[in-house]
Amino acid sequence: MTRTLTIPRPDDWHLHLRDGAMLQGVLPETARHFARAIVMPNLVPPVVTAADAAAYRSRILAALPAGMTFEPLMTLYLTEGTEPADVVAAARSGLVKAVKLYPAGATTNSHGGVRDLDRVRGVLEAMAEAGLPLCVHGEVTTAEVDIFDREAVFIDTVLDPLRARVPGLRVVMEHITTRQGVDYARSVPQGLAATITTHHLIINRNHILVGGIKPHYYCLPVAKREEHRLALREAATSGDARFFLGTDSAPHIDALKEHACGCAGCFTATNTMPLLAHVFEEMGALDRLEGFASRNGPAFYGLPVNDATLTLVKRDSATQWPAKIETGAGPVTVFDPGFPVFWDVAG
């Protein structure tokens, strides 16, 4: 039985760090285990220009505790006023690694997102020419579409037509949650990848709703039926290089999660790597964790695999992590898988 596993230091290809006191509180939780992360731009106000991204990157690095190493990979928030020249210049400078498409109203701080894709076609064409990936929050937001069907409808009515109109555009389907998302990612031979979160490998919609509402399991895209969770597990552990880790770790203070209109997001930065080791071992695929967490993402983004390593150890007693992270903004609850986990990060 495998008791230790050493892999190149992993990266997180979808991460929310927020800003200010929250940033200072949660950044160490990611930097402890991850070398790099694609940092989401949905601040208030959002990170729209190269200047915004440079300023935000400086704030992240200023918040990094002494002795920790971490590289934030910056993104721009796509709006209908985004200038193609600014995006291309930011990409060529090396500052920006991707542009994020939020359909307006899809998730936290997405009200400034795109309503009409025709208005951003010039930006998308410039991105295709520059080789800059588009990260998509893959849900439609029209009221008549059931929330559990939003991802599948987005693939059929938005993503597939978009890729046909801008065929050279490289796309990351972020935080896929459905069998349809897995199947679509596999149907495209190149230029498209998909991230999968830690929590969507562990919970289905029953975890949110059965026995009372569990606000700390509420996320967007919302967890789906068990058949979809199983499809995600199979994809993540398959060894297919089109799938890689994007935690979508999303901190909100408890007062805003445990609220009449609670915020969406699961905070998994603290315990993602032990949880992934547990899942991959359950699936008989512990040898494929390295690809999912450390190699597939860099390959898609054209970056080197990290030289540093991370070692996971399986212990005899269950691993303990804090129930909450105390930040200057307030307490943030750490994702609870609901079962004992015996894997831990060494050191």
User: In angstroms, rounded to a whole number, what is the distance separating the alpha carbons of residues 65 and 70?
Assistant: 10
pLDDT of res. 106: 61
Name beta bridge partners: 37.
Answer: 12, 72
Is 160 labeled as catalytic in the residue annotation?
no
User: In angstroms, rounded to a whole number, what is the distance separating the alpha carbons of residues 194 and 225?
Assistant: 19
- The residue with greater pLDDT, 112 or 64, is 64
4-345 is classed CATH 3.20.20.140: yes
Angle at Cα 45 formed by Cα 39 and Cα 47, nearest 5°? 35
Name beta bridge partners: 248.
Answer: none
Cβ contact 105:111 at 8 Å: yes
Q: What residue segments make up the domains of the chain, in order of their start?
A: 4-345
User: In angstroms, rounded to a whole number, what is the distance separating the alpha carbons of residues 197 and 174?
Assistant: 9
pLDDT of res. 347: 78
Q: Average pLDDT in the 208-230 region?
A: 98
- The 10s digit of each residue's pLDDT in 43-58 is 999 999 999 999 999 9
**Residue 339: CB partners within 8 Å, gap ≥ 6?**
none
- Is it the case that residue 110 has pLDDT exceeding 80? no
- The 10s digit of each residue's pLDDT in 281-333 is 999 999 999 999 999 999 999 999 999 999 999 999 999 999 999 999 999 99
Q: What is the mean pLDDT of the chain?
A: 96
Q: Average pLDDT in the 150-176 region?
A: 97
Determine which one of 248, 307, 316, 336 is catalytic: 248
